[in-house]
């Protein structure tokens, strides 16, 4: 397992483009926007789905998508991956034979951006997943929020992007971004699979809403704690409670709201003792 921290690469010229426009005063401007391109995922000889993505980490995205849709398991042996950037295609090849024609016929679209999908049999296995009773210190929440918000990213440089961060205690381990929050989570799942990272003591931080899809993916990954700076949906909360997932939202500054799995919380610090988080303007000014 690699100990290297994975961070966004906002300086990568392949992930953004400059576009001419005007601002609210009618002045000309040149602004940075993320790219968006199709990537078709194949599992062995079967075409599964086409997703819209910024184009980085295609192998992690494909592996994570298949894992989170129960098309792959942690026991599967990957014998190869073939990525063609010109065609926008990635093929994941497994040791065992696969045929998901019936599964594909049952797929339902979810509330996720772009190509978010979930499959009926995920719910059939949902009750069988038991999440560990890992504790999370509230001091970690404040520390993670400050570290993640200060990390150079496409979100800070260009906007219109979602991020997911795999964390352990108060340390970010892997920060992935994409145009859809589900893609960013799938990249984390694929990264964990490739690096053989265990989920039991990990935290997943997302910039997106805490929807049913986000809860399902986190539970599928075996991660017991899900945090977001954004809010909740009712079904997301219901599923989190059903799975005993610790669900923490509206995590901004010194505040957060926990609506599920609150027994894992260790209130080890007074929020009033936490230094105020610097604004983006202050960070850019070096204050």
What average pLDDT does range 197-224 have in this prediction?
Answer: 95
pLDDT value for 113: 45
What pLDDT is recorded for position 2? 58
Q: What is the pLDDT of residues 78-110, one digit of tens each?
A: 999 999 999 999 999 999 999 887 667 655 444
Per the model's pLDDT, the better-predicted residue between 36 and 276 turns out to be 36
Retrieve residue 186's tokens. Answer: 């799938």
Rounded Cα distance, 273 and 281, in Å: 23
Q: Residue 157 above 90 pLDDT?
A: yes
pLDDT-derived band at 115, boundaries 50, 70, 90? very low
**What φ, ψ does residue 135 adopt, rounded to 5°?**
-80, 150
Burial 91-117 (b: 16+ CB within 10 A, else e): bbebeeebebeebbeeeeeeebebbbb
Distance of alpha carbon 176 from alpha carbon 154, whole angstroms: 10
Mean pLDDT score, 36-58: 96
Question: pLDDT class for 278, splitting at 50, 70, 90?
Answer: low
Q: Measured on CA atoms in the order 207, 208, 209, 210, is the torsion positive or negative? A: negative
- Model pLDDT, residue 276: 76
Give pLDDT, residue 75.
93
For range 35-57, the mean pLDDT: 96
| DSSP label of 87 | T
More confident: 126 or 155: 155
Confidence of residue 248 (pLDDT cuts 50, 70, 90): very high
How much is the pLDDT for 281?
Answer: 54
| pLDDT at site 4 | 84
Q: How far apart are CA 54 and CA 37, in angstroms?
A: 6
Tell whether the model's pLDDT for residue 195 goes beyond 50: yes
DSSP alpha helices (H): ranges in 69-202?
A: 101-105, 120-126, 138-150, 154-157, 181-195
**pLDDT at position 1 over 70:** no
Mean pLDDT (the chain, rounded): 90
Tokens found for residue 46 = 């079967």
Residue spans per domain, the chain: 1-287
Tell me if residue 111 falls in helix, strand or coil.
coil
C-alpha span between 35 and 52 (Å, rounded): 10
User: pTM above the 0.85 mark?
Assistant: yes
Q: Looking at the domain covering 1-287, what would its CATH class be? A: alpha beta
Residue-wise burial string across 122-138, b where 16 or more C-beta atoms lie within 10 A, e elsewhere: beeeeeeeebeebebbb
The mean pLDDT of 147-163, rounded to a whole number, is 94
Between 71-85, 115-129, 202-216, 228-242, the lowest mean confidence (pLDDT) is in: 115-129
């Amino acid at each position: 397992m690699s100990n290297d921290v994975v961070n966004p690469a906002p300086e990568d010229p392949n992930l953004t483009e400059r576009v001419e426009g005007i601002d609210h005063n009618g002045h000309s401007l040149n602004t940075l926007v993320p790219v968006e391109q199709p990537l078709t995922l194949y599992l062995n000889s079967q075409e599964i789905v086409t997703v819209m993505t910024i184009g980085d980490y295609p192998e992690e995205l494909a592996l994570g998508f298949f894992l989170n849709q129960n098309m792959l398991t942690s026991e599967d042996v990957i014998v190869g991956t073939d990525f063609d950037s010109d065609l926008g295609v990635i093929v994941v090849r497994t040791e065992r034979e696969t045929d998901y024609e019936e599964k594909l016929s049952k797929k339902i679209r979810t509330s996720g951006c772009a190509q978010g999908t979930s499959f009926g049999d995920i719910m059939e296995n949902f009750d069988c997943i038991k999440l560990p009773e890992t504790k999370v210190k509230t001091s970690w929440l404040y520390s993670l929020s400050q570290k993640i918000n200060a990390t150079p990213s496409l979100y800070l440089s260009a906007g219109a992007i979602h991020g997911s961060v795999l964390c352990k205690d108060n340390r970010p381990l892997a920060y992935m971004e994409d145009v859809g929050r589900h893609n960013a989570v799938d990249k984390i799942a694929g990264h964990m699979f490739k690096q053989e990272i265990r989920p039991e003591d990990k935290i997943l931080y997302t910039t997106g809403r805490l929807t049913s899809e986000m809860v399902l993916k986190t539970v599928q990954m075996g991660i017991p704690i899900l945090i977001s700076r954004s809010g909740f949906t009712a079904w997301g909360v219901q599923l989190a409670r059903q799975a005993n997932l610790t669900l923490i939202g509206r995590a901004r500054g010194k505040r957060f709201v926990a609506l599920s799995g609150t027994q894992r919380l260790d209130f080890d610090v007074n929020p009033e003792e936490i230094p105020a988080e610097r604004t983006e303007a202050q960070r850019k000014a070096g204050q």
